[in-house]
Amino acid sequence: MQNILQHTAFNIVEVREDFPILKTLVNNKPLIYFDNGATAQKPKQVLDVIIKYYTEENSNIHRGVHTLSQKATIHYELAREIVKKHIKASSVNEIIFTRGTTESVNLVAHCFGKLFINKGDEIILSVMEHHSNILPWQILCEERGAVLKVIPINEKGELNLNEYKKLLSAKTKLVSVSHVSNTLGVINDMKEICALAKQKNIPVFIDGAQAIPHMAVDVQDLDCDFYCFSGHKVYAPTGIGVLYAKEKWIEIFKPYQVGGGTIKTVSFEKTEYADGPLKFEAGTPNIEGAIGLAAALNYINEIGLETISAYEHELTQYATQKLKQLTNVIIYGDVANKASVISFNVKGIHPFDVGTLLDKQGIAVRTGHHCTQPLMQYFNIPGTIRASFAFYNTKEEIDVFILGLEKAIKMLS
């Protein structure tokens, strides 16, 4: 076996040193963290800027004339600039800070829905969507008498784009699809999905929660109308996320929540709202979250997303090959074009039991429906075991995981 420590384009030993939690013992065993799809660990570069912010700069933003407030404002707005550059948006005015992917979807469903969704209209999703990219649209459709249409997948877990083409019609008001499936890891051809929708002038919303940690994203190249992600999956804190929206939508949408920070002038007779993203950032925002997110994006950009993608792909292929050597293992979404997520089951064994026995060996995987119950219904299973890798994981950890899995299977058979 090739030793991963010798070959990577980045220094994995140094990288692992950046993540203090990786030294933790779980059940007296060295932690092997394969639950990155749920949330990723934070490097000390991110932890350090948060401590620095609270020890040296803590202050509220935007309306203070004093030095600390101005410093905090500069760093918060610099974070917006870093996000803009990271996803190649054309302007900082297109970057709204939210609590995460879930809030970003809710924001657009609310604002877009109020203006454009009426009885009989249709919204297209796919069968592999996370509940967060289903429920806001479902409620909207219920309220407005609109209809959800669902792009099917094939047995490998790939979207059926021919069926998608057939679903696009004059009734379609919006398409909302995940860039990468959190359960299968399958990467969807969002460029094609956007291009097909554009032919009929239909806006596209992309749930990028599982794409942003693993690949370079260019929202202008995708030509999507909306793109969102969560900070915590990309090595930043929880409670911060991003909604990218083309400026035309920012201009025409009415505020989603209102309060301090969203206005130009207020009187009891009339309120004039702020221009740009501030219109959607009501109340004191997650300042340290935004600053932490900027530090996280800087961190991964220093390693390079191409390097990260290539290394994670290698880990995924290695683990997939090892899993395939075990009898009774079924892998879902076994395609070449995927991010570092592997969902599988062991015939005759409940995923929870496997997950529990792996935990006893210090190995963290996720088990269950992964907030994708419609996808579980498609495969006719209650759930899967999901191993999701980050660039700080190693082939050695995969070897330990495979041994642990074999042990668990033996005990449960």
- Residues found near ligand PMP in the complex (CB under 6 A): 100-102, 130, 132-133, 178, 182, 207, 209-210, 230, 371
CA-to-CA distance for 366 and 364, rounded, in angstroms?
7
- Cα torsion 389, 393, 394, 400: sign: negative
Cα dihedral 128, 133, 138, 144 in deg (nearest 10): -130
Tell me how far apart the alpha carbons of residues 37 and 297 are, in angstroms, rounded to a whole number. 17
Confirm if 202 and 225 have CB atoms less than 8 A apart: no
Please tell me which residue in 111, 141, 224, 371 is annotated as part of the active site.
371
Question: Least distance in Å: CB of 342 to ligand PMP?
Answer: 15
CA separation for the pair 18, 11 (Å, rounded): 11
- Adjacent-strand bridge partners of 147: 122
- In the complex, the smallest distance separating the C-beta of residue 41 from ligand PMP, rounded to whole angstroms, is 15
Distance of closest approach, residue 299 Cβ to ligand PMP, in angstroms: 19
Let me know how long the chain is: 413
What's the min distance (Å) between Cβ of 96 and ligand PMP?
A: 14
Supply the minimum distance, in Å, between the C-beta of residue 266 and ligand PMP. Answer: 31
Is 371 catalytic? The answer is yes
Shorter beta-carbon distance to ligand PMP: residue 57 or 207: 207
Give whole-number Cα distances, 112 to 95, 262, 331, in Å: 17, 18, 38
Question: Quick one: DSSP state of residue 253?
Answer: P
Measured between alpha carbons, how far is 43 from 299 in angstroms, rounded to an integer? 8
Nearer to ligand PMP, 102 or 367 (CB): 102
Active site residues per annotation: 371
